């Protein structure tokens, strides 16, 4: 009977702690809120967007003007093509002024695996400008003749952190 009282008291403490807890860690993460994510631009929906050879490049976005307060994520499907798993492709960002003049060029990421991936592009935080070009360019000397990567399905997603203000009763 005494053990039952301790067990019930312990259960009551656990119940109070779990009821008084706020949002789950998935909701209340690094931004202290939740993300509103929406599709922004579908670059390609019907298969192959472009094919890059051993020394090649393609422009994914041109004169792109991001909306203030949003984060942008470039999503790509898996590369296909002969030896596509051994090709290295850099994601390059050209920062431009309102007249279209490039004044900064950055390499954001290098894609070295054929598997699809998502790449966060920090427009207006790391990359500053009024318009941006996003380009893919093959790099390195490992690619031989006949190496190609077929770029399939590209999308740009945008998201921003949403927070709610809680009133306090002082």
Look-up of token digits 């051994």: 86
Q: Are 110 and 88 in contact (CB under 8 A)?
A: yes
For tokens 């967007």, name the residue: 49
**pLDDT of 83:** 72
What pLDDT shows up at residue 20?
Answer: 54
Q: Taking a C-beta distance cutoff of 8 angstroms, is the pair 115, 61 a contact?
A: no
In order of their start, the domains of the chain are: 31-162 (2.60.120)
Spell out the per-residue pLDDT of the chain, length 170, in tens.
667 777 777 666 666 656 555 544 444 445 556 677 766 665 655 567 777 877 788 888 899 998 888 888 998 888 888 776 778 889 999 999 999 999 999 999 998 888 889 999 999 888 899 999 999 998 865 555 667 888 888 888 888 877 666 655 65
Instruction: Show the 3-state SS of the chain.
Output: CHHHHHHHHHHHHHHHHHHHCCCCCCCCCCCCCEEEEEEEEECCCCCEEEEECCCCEEEEEEEECCCCCCEEEEEECCCECCCHHHCEEEEEEEEECCCCCEEEEEEEEEECCCCCEEEEECECCCECCCEEEEEEEEECCCCCCCCCEEEECEEEEEEEEECCCCCCCC
Report field, pTM of the whole predicted structure over 0.85: no
pLDDT at 106: 93
pLDDT of residue 25: 43
């Amino acid at each position: 009977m005494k053990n039952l009282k301790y067990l019930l008291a312990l259960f009551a403490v656990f119940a109070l702690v779990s009821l008084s807890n706020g949002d789950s860690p998935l909701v209340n993460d690094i931004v202290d809120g939740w993300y509103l994510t929406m599709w922004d631009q579908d670059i390609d929906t019907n298969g192959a967007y472009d094919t890059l050879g051993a020394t090649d490049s393609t422009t994914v976005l041109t004169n792109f003007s991001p909306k203030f307060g949003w984060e942008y994520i470039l999503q790509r499907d898996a590369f296909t093509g002969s030896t596509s798993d051994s090709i290295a492709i850099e994601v390059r960002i050209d920062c431009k002024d309102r007249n279209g003049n490039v004044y900064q060029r950055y390499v954001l990421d290098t894609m070295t695996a054929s598997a699809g991936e998502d790449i966060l592009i920090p427009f207006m935080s790391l990359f500053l400008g009024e318009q941006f070009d996003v380009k893919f360019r093959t790099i390195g000397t490992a690619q031989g003749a006949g190496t190609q990567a077929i770029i399939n399905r590209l999308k740009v997603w945008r998201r921003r952190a949403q927070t709610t203000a809680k009133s306090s009763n002082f």
